[in-house]
Structure 1
Amino acid sequence: MAVNVVVKLVSSNSSMMQLYLTDLINPLSSLLCSNNLEVATSCATALNMVLSNLSVKREKQVWEIVKEAKTLIQIIRIIREFPGVTQPIENFQEMVSLLYTILWQWPPSCYFVWKDTILIKVLEDSRIKSHLSTKVAVLKLCSALALCNKVAKELLGNGETILTMMVSCMDVSEPLAVRIEGFRLAQHLVADEQRCIKMTSLCSGPLIKAIIGGMRVWRLGSGKGVNDLVSLLDEACRLALITRWPGEHHNHFWEQGIDKVLLDLLLENFDKQASEHTLTPQARISIAQQGLDTNFLIALRPYIWEIFGWLAVHCRKDFRPSTDRTELYIYMLITCACLSFVEAICKGCQISENDDTSRSESSSRAVLVMMHSSSTYIASKVRLILSGVLEIKGNECLKRLLYLLDYGSSANNFGSANIPKTVVELVCLICYSGLPEYQKNVTRGDGIRTLVTSIRRCLSNGVCTSRRSFALHFYHNVFYERTCCWMTAEEWEGKDALLFYSLWGLAELAQHSSDTDHSRIKSNLIKTVQEVLDNVSAPGPRWLAANILSYFGVYGFPNKHDKGFGRALEDKEHTDLQLLFANGESVSVHKIILAVQCPSLLPPEQFPRSAKTTDNFLVKDVPRKCCPMLRKEVRFSARVDQQALLKLLDYVYFGYVEAGEDLARKLKTLAKSCNMQPLYLMLCRKIPQWGTPIPSSDFTDALGPLGFQFADIILEAEETEKMPWACSFCSLLLPHMHAHKFILQSRCKYLQALFLSGMQESHSQSIKVPVSWEALIKLVRLIYSRKLPDPPFGCLWDNMDTKERLYELKPYVEVYWLA
């Protein structure tokens, strides 16, 4: 009776009751194992309510109480015993639900639960054999376990078992509640690009079929609960955002008719209207506008624009609709996006931080990325349709847009006012800049000066507003706040949406303006863009900055903090290859640099053909006798332009090159033949495709078979304990690594001084490094990649004992001491 009273009091959610919630945890936990199953079940229900109603401020305090009461251990024991004892299914469901709540509130406990193989087996059996409510509870628990990145990876590592179960739960034959939890589990498992690649490699077809089935539920769901249908539709659309990552699954989306599915969610009766009208371009605009005005499923529009935009981003260049009907659907989707784009401009300063922002930002952004789609068909079609939609109000809207941006960029509160509004305005300006009929009006309206001012303010005010903060449809998911052991890679566009879109706008204008358009602010423009390259790490802004510099004869990524290996090229230190030109002149270079950065310049016999690298830089499958360094010089014919090749070497060593127009044309031909794609892209002055990676200065590949034949020094670790040791390259039986003096001294001042000191070590073929083997691995990786591997963290760290933690930390302490 007392427990039932507690349940009623907690469910009342009164402010008075909040004061005593933590006092209830211990007594309720102690009764979970009560022989009176009714009491145990009620305690689980009450404790579940208590933990679900916690404020964020009290979570840490309550977690300590939960640990002290050993609540988690008790719940696991009860669930493990379920198959062997007779107990009501309600008790099992409440225990599973309580465990889900604990894992959701405190994700670091996920790995502890996951390690219990008996528990996981019981849950799997229960999901298969039990009825609906139990299946839903178990699926929710699996979703909570997947909050832990390590657990999620292991779940995917188990391969088809978990994915077959997940996809079957998403099938149209399952009840809506089961399908909803199946979609949520899939979202958690596919939370980053690497996990998306893994999942789609195993079940791309069935997964996309299930997503499309979920997105069609509105058309097929007459007579069912509206709220459940909307929930399922929302979860299916969220999962469809895997389109933001490239891969084979994009083909499956098109094959499954994603174009019609998206249009059905946008325009309620399009097929009926299309059959009743002759669809001239004007009629299509009229039907689209009428359909948008009905606000049909308006909350889903941000998802629709996001999904369609990403599909356009990752299209093949030769993509074309397979049928006339598909072409019509794509045409109507583009028309709707363009109409929403114009609406966003007309709203102007009325845009505020709410759901309306997500719709305006996502539709405008969809138009922008479609204009820059790799598909020639989509890019040309969106420009044609947008020009038609803007025909009446285009110049009027542009004038207003330029005024708002100029005012916003010069205001003292730049970056702290209505940032979503400014982002939408910047996106709209970039789209205008991509239409030939408006380009002159943009430059005449001081668009370049406005964007340079905007970039300078972004760099100086220290306020970074990422898209995550206002694109709520894309990021507003509690999952992102509750993850464990999950280190997210920096978004391609970076942490500052204003900076990213300002740079994109400037790159677009630089492409279409003449020298006189930016001559007045040339020095300020170059200085501003260089500051981006010096201080911003995100790939997107850096690529756009490099694209802008290319119009001023600078190609690459100059950075005051990283001079590359440029000094070594000038000083000719440790060079081992001569490049001989037809006129008798030569240049000395380093084979290891060319092997990693531009292997086309090396003779083909320099490379072992059957080499594989493994973890920790050990090589297991390299032939005992690698190809010897047969040649110390390479002769070029008179057809190779000497100046162009020297400029190519500047890029390889410094990371950038300066060249006039004539020389740049010759360099472009050479870069293409040498497969130097990043340099070729900059010489073509093309705005890079979304997601294009920055050329890496990571030389860890040189530690494997690729660079072994160029190694000229051995680094020996201290032998802290007897361990079996065998090297695939040599007969030395001590823990060691084969390295390159040139790279070591270029990136480590201590080693540079050592090698140039004239002491014994400067001439030795091996150096004893006073650290353990584990520390030596991390030290060398730090030198070669400029990055120190991260130590264990999250639940993996939490579940280590003291001895294990010390073992993991010791190499970092050694590297720190050596530094």
Structure 2
Amino acid sequence: MVVLEEALSNCLSVKTKQEKQTDQEEEKEDDEIIVETTGPGAECREQPRHQRSHVDPPPAPLPCPQPRSYGDKGRKWQFADIEIQRLVIRSIDAFLDCISAETNTILQHPLVKDAIADIVGALEGILQLKNEATLSLASNVAVKMVNILPNSILQSHVLDLVCHLTSLLPSQQLQVAVSCATALKLILSNLSSKREREVWKILKETNTVVHIVNNIQDFSGGTKPIEYFQEMVSLLSKILWRWPPSRFCVWSDSKLMEILGVISLEPNFSVKLAVLQLYSALALCGNGAQKLLEKGETVLYMMEDCMAMSNCISVQIEGFKLAQCLAINEQGCSKMMKMCCEPIVKSIINGLSSWSSHSGKIPKDQMALLMEVCRLALITRWAGEHHTYFWKLGIGNVLLNLLLNNFHKTHQPQTFLSLEEQIATAQKGLSANFLLVLRPFIWDILGGLAVHCPEDVNAKMHGDEVCVNLLITCLPQYRKHVIKGQGIKTLIAIVRWCLSNDVHIKRSSVAPHLHNTFSERTCCWIHTEDWDGEDILCSLGICSDDTSTPGPRWYAAYILSYFGFYGFPNKIGKRIGKALNEKELSDLELILTNGEPLSVHGVILTVQCPSLLPPEKLPCNERSCDGSFVRKDAEKCGRLKKEVHLSAQVDRQALLKLLEYVYLGYLQAGAELVKKLKIHSETIKVPVSWEALDKLVNWFYSGELPEPISSCLWDNLDVEEKLNELHPYVELCWLAEFWLLGDVHEHCTRVVISCLDSARNLSIKILQIAANLSQWKLSEAAANYMAPSYHHLRNSGKLEELDEELVDMVRAASVRLSQEGGGHHPHS
């Protein structure tokens, strides 16, 4: 503690020592510069000591440029004298050494707590001056300080530290650039989510990503140490992982990607590790992953090489993480597997097999590796050639060993076991509770293998018959516990409650093993086809036959369509279906070209499928205001039958099936018949652009609207491209309102407003387009975004292109905003 107080005293008394020294030389000219900053307008004045008591400021103050302050304003220590700076740095260094040698309780000492703010401020001031004579020493101490001081203490200084450290990344002093990169990496690793937006603002304003990319490209010249490359790549990875908008300028830089590809071939595994981490961060962007897969052999070869068991575990883990990022969805997995299917599956099998337990426990590093391998092995949930290799390489034996603690060591693979022996073995193995954390992975992997098992795979042929039988035997053991604990009743109660309250739960929210940091940071990935687990209650709700919720029923209908069943069987449909082909009460005849009549009921066709009938052939041509037939007109119809002659293009079989669907509400049809029915579908004329129509058709068939370009791609579009991207959604808002498609209208409105929030310069154009289509909600939203800049827009003449009514709308929004006392849009 005495040493600490001495170091701290040195650090705090630097100015006092200088004053004592100059007091002894009072008669000599003193050109010391004292710098104090109390805000953005602070100045640096040169002042002889004998004049310091004067009230008037010196006539010619020297300018002391201050960088923009991102943190708390306050007094900073800045000394132009190099020796003073060195003394301060050495004192801080000694202080940090004392802290690192003591326990954390030392930080609670009043003297220490009071001094830390001044110490950090002093170091910031020295970094800010950028004096080459002291920068190397100061940057090294910055690394030590970030390493030693707790995150809770540093948080209040993070913004200023990031500002000063990023400004030094382009430094020609290699050690300074490396130390600053290291310190920044440590800060970003522990950055609070509350500070993310502010830090990203600094990184953008200081062009940090550009500087790092330039540094990496300069390294390829071969004159800089490997440590320089590693720290720059590692820092870039941290930034890309946390901030999606930073990824575009990296993966789109062909020169950088080429350099990374060449350097990754180096035998140095620390370099490979850094490149792997950078590739993983880039692959969080769907477009970045596509770019990496385009490089194919280079990237995937390095990834396979790093997953090999001959590497250290940290390198293996990064290899498996990269594979996970490239296979975030089914499309990515398929592309990756087409290039290197067998090597990846072999790496997974080896990763799941190369472990050892001691007294039922596995070392932490091996456990971390197993977790990452299991996450990658979840690619079994998608069909593909990899399933053949999984069985060929003995996946059954591997999974059983993980489930029953090295089963193969106590049992011969080909040993025949009776059913009773299998049950006893399964019960004994499961009761040992070995590797419980991996069991959810095992069941998911096994489920995917069972669903997508190739027809030509024979477990007996691959020597997995005993293992597969035991794995299947293990499943019912859990079923007993579920039934005994009345789990089914509880599950049904939960499902019904969620369905009745419109609660949507993704499987990842109730299955912790599926949670990973990747999914929270992805951008530009498309998941429209990968709906497995998107809403688990929908699939569970299909089993509940008394639910009236439309969502699960449509999911069920979609699934049944693959089996040739369309629509919803119901009691009313069965009753109405009895009238099909009854001639006695029919009032319409559909006449085929061969003269064959089909007797139908005009009321049923009018309600269920009016497109089958031309308007003039409807049973009663006039309707009341609510769409029902007027009673007196219905009575006039009487028993007179009307005929509708069909064209030669109408297929008899298709027509009969269509009538069956109209009357019963469902039908069973093969692929050929469905194709004929689609041909006879009514042609709909939609007065919107082709882009909007394409999105609408996608919604008709999949129930989902394609999302607009987002994240890094959106940020890098110009104004016209962004407008072209949004225009179809404004059109769909109008069309959805006209056709009473509430969900589509709500979704498109949300998309447009969200995009306006990130690109407010589109508001004028969107305001006009929306007003032309009478989409006043969108017009109001655009006007609100324009409100803060109304006066500027008016004075610049940009509002002249709008109708006067729309200008008044913006003016009114501006008045409301000023009355509320705000300067920002309420949504921001």
**How would you bin the TM-score normalised by the shorter chain?**
0.5 to 0.7
Alpha-carbon offset, residue 491 of structure 1: 5.7
What is the deviation of 1:228?
A: 3.1
Partners of 1:632 and 1:298 in 2: CA distance: 67
Counterpart in 1 of 2:648? Answer: 632
- The offset of 1:156, in angstroms, is 2.2
Aligned to 1:296: 434
Alignment partner of 1:57 is 2:194: yes
Instruction: Letter of the 1:247 partner, please give it.
Output: G
Which amino acid in 2 is paired with 1:280?
S
Q: 2:464 matched to 1:326?
A: yes
1:796 corresponds in structure 2 to 713
Superposition pairs for residues 499-538 of structure 1, below 5 Å? 499-504=538-543, 506=544, 525=546, 528-529=547-548, 531-532=550-551
Q: 2:683 aligns with which of 743, 746, 751?
A: 743
Query: What CA deviation, in whole Å up to 9, does each residue of 1:87-124 have, x standing for no partner?
Result: 22111111110000000010221111111111111211
Residue 463 of structure 1 deviates from its aligned partner by 2.7
- The equivalent position to 2:153 in structure 1, one of 16, 19, 24, is 16
Contact 1:648 1:657 in 2 (8 A): no
The whole-number CA distance in structure 2 between the counterparts of 1:195 and 1:9 is 42
Work out whether residues 391 and 459 of structure 2, in 8 Å CA contact, stay in contact via their aligned partners in 1: no
Superposition deviation, residue 454 in structure 1: 5.4
The partner residue of 1:124 within 261, 273, 289 is 261
Q: Which amino acid aligns with 1:799?
A: N
SS at match of 2:542: helix
Report the Cα offset of residue 179 of structure 1: 2.3
Rate the CA distance shift 1:57–1:221 in 2: closer, same or farther, 3 A: same
- Choose from 156, 177, 201 the match for 1:40: 177
State the AA in 1 paired with 2:522. Answer: T
Matching residue's letter, 2:714: W
Q: In 1, distance between residues paired with 2:244 and 2:515?
A: 18
**Preserved CA contact (<8 Å) 1:493 1:500:** no
Question: Which residue type is aligned with residue 649 of structure 1?
Answer: L
Picking from 417, 424, 431, the partner of 1:286 is 424
TM-score, scaled to structure 2: 0.58
Partner of residue 528 from structure 2, selected from 489, 494, 500: 489
Residue of structure 2 in register with 1:649 after alignment: 658
SS in 2 for 1:743: coil
Deviation at 1:238, TM superposition (A): 0.8
SS at match of 1:208: helix
Letter in 2 for 1:7: V
Offset from partner CA, 1:515-540 (integer Å, 9 cap, x none): xxxxxxxxxx2xx2464457879956
- 283 and 807 in structure 1: CA distance in 2 versus 1, 3 angstrom threshold: closer
Q: Tell me how far apart the structure 2 counterparts of residues 780 and 288 of structure 1 sit (CA, whole Å).
A: 51
* Structure 2 CA distance for aligned equivalents of residues 542 and 533 of structure 1: 14
Opposite residue 24 of structure 1, the aligned amino acid is: L
| Alignment CA distance shift 1:21-1:316 (3 Å) | same
Q: Which of 87, 95, 100 in structure 1 is aligned with 2:237? A: 100
Map 1:385-396; keep pairs closer than 5 Å: none
Measure, in 1, the Cα distance between the counterparts of 2:431 and 2:418.
20
- Tell me the equivalent position of 1:28: 165
Measured at CA, do residues 82 and 172 of structure 1 come closer, stay the same or move farther in structure 2, by a change above 3 Å? same
SS at match of 1:152: helix
Aligned partners of 2:420 and 2:240: how far apart in 1?
Answer: 55
Summarize the Cα distance change of 1:308–1:551 in structure 2 as closer, same or farther, 3 Å threshold. Answer: farther
Indicate the RMSD between aligned Cα atoms, in angstroms.
Answer: 4.4
The separation in 1 between residues aligned to 2:216 and 2:182, in whole angstroms, is 15
* 1:450-489 equivalences in 2 (<5 Å): 451=492, 456-473=496-513, 475-489=514-528
Letter in 2 for 1:11: N
Contact 1:580/1:586 (8 A) holds in 2:
no
Say which SS state the counterpart of residue 296 (structure 1) adopts: coil
For 2:385, which of 248, 270, 282 is the aligned residue?
248
Letter in 1 for 2:497: R
How does 1:222-261 map onto structure 2 within 5 Å? 226-261=363-398
Name the counterpart of 2:475.
Answer: 337
Determine helix, strand or coil for the equivalent of 2:708.
coil
CA–CA separation in structure 2 for the residues paired with 1:313 and 1:304: 14
Gaps of 5+ in 2: 1-136, 575-585, 602-646, 735-771, 775-828
Offset of 1:273 from its aligned partner? 3.0
The two structures have a TM-score, normalised by structure 1, of 0.58
| Deviation of the 1:264 alpha carbon | 1.4
CA deviation after TM superposition for structure 1 residue 274, in Å: 2.6
Q: Is the 8 A contact 2:326 2:332 kept in 1?
A: yes
Give the CA deviation at 1:313: 1.6
- DSSP-derived class of the 1:145 partner: helix
Distance 1:111 1:219, change over 3 A: same
Correspondence 1:57-96 to 2 at 5 A: 57-96=194-233
User: Which residue matches 2:109?
Assistant: none
Cα deviation 1:575-627 (Å, max 9, x = unaligned): xx985679554999xxxxxxxxxxxxxxxxxxxxxxxxxxxxxxxxxxxxxxx
Tell me how far apart the structure 2 counterparts of residues 549 and 153 of structure 1 sit (CA, whole Å).
Answer: 41
1-structure distance, mates of 2:723, 2:534: 35
Distance 1:309 1:777 in 2: 36
Q: 1:41–1:326: structure 2 CA closer, same or farther, 3 Å change rule?
A: same
Give 1:211 deviation, angstroms. 1.5
Q: Amino acid of the residue matched to residue 743 of structure 1? A: T
Please give the alpha-carbon distance, in whole angstroms, between the structure 2 residues aligned to 1:263 and 1:536: 35
**Separation of aligned partners in 2, 1:166 and 1:151:** 16
Give a deviation string over 1:290-325, Cα, whole Å, max 9, x none: 222333333211111110011112235686423484
The aligned runs of 1:53-202 (5 Å cut-off) are 53-202=190-339
**AA in 2 matched with 1:471:** A
1:5 to 127, 135, 141: 141
Judge conservation of contact 2:396–2:467 (CA < 8 Å) in 1: yes
Equivalent residues of 1:580, 1:635 under 8 A apart: no
Name the stretch that deviates more: 163-172 or 41-50.
Answer: 163-172
Give, as a single letter, the amino acid of the residue that structure 1 aligns with 2:509.
S
SS of the equivalent of 1:129 reads coil
SS at match of 2:264: helix
Residues of 2 paired with 1:498 and 1:787: CA distance?
18
- Decide which structure has the larger Cα Rg and report it: 2
Aligned-pair distance for 1:247?
1.8
The amino acid that maps onto 1:190 is: A
1:455–1:175: structure 2 CA closer, same or farther, 3 Å change rule?
closer
Q: 1:18 to 1:325 in 2, by over 3 A?
A: same
User: Does structure 1 retain, via aligned residues, the 8 Å contact 2:591–2:598?
Assistant: no
Matches of 2:773 and 2:378, distance apart in 1: 46
- SS across alignment from 2:265: helix
The answer to whether the Cα contact below 8 Å between 1:744 and 1:783 also exists between their aligned partners in 2 is no
* In 2: Cα distance, 1:779 partner to 1:493 partner: 23
SS for the counterpart of 2:247 is helix
Distance, in Å, in 1 between the alignment partners of 2:694 and 2:570 is 42
| Residue 145 of structure 1, CA deviation | 0.3
| Counterpart-to-counterpart distance in 1, 2:230 and 2:313 | 19
Alignment length (residue pairs)? 544
Q: CA deviation at 1:176?
A: 3.0
Q: Deviations over 1:539-558 (max 9, x none)?
A: 569999x9995485869xxx
Q: SS state of the match for residue 459, structure 2?
A: coil
Check the 8 A contact 1:500/1:541 in 2, yes or no.
no
Q: 1:15 to 1:330 in 2, by over 3 A?
A: same
Q: How far is the alpha carbon of 1:461 from its aligned partner? A: 2.0
**Structure 1 residue 189: Cα displacement:** 0.5
Higher relative contact order (CA 8 A, sep 6+): 1
Give the secondary structure class of the aligned counterpart of 1:80. Answer: helix
* TM-superposition CA deviations, 1:325-345 (whole Å, max 9, x none): 411100111122222333x42
SS in 1 for 2:516: coil
Matches within 5 A, 1:370-409: 397-398=483-484, 400-401=485-486, 406=489
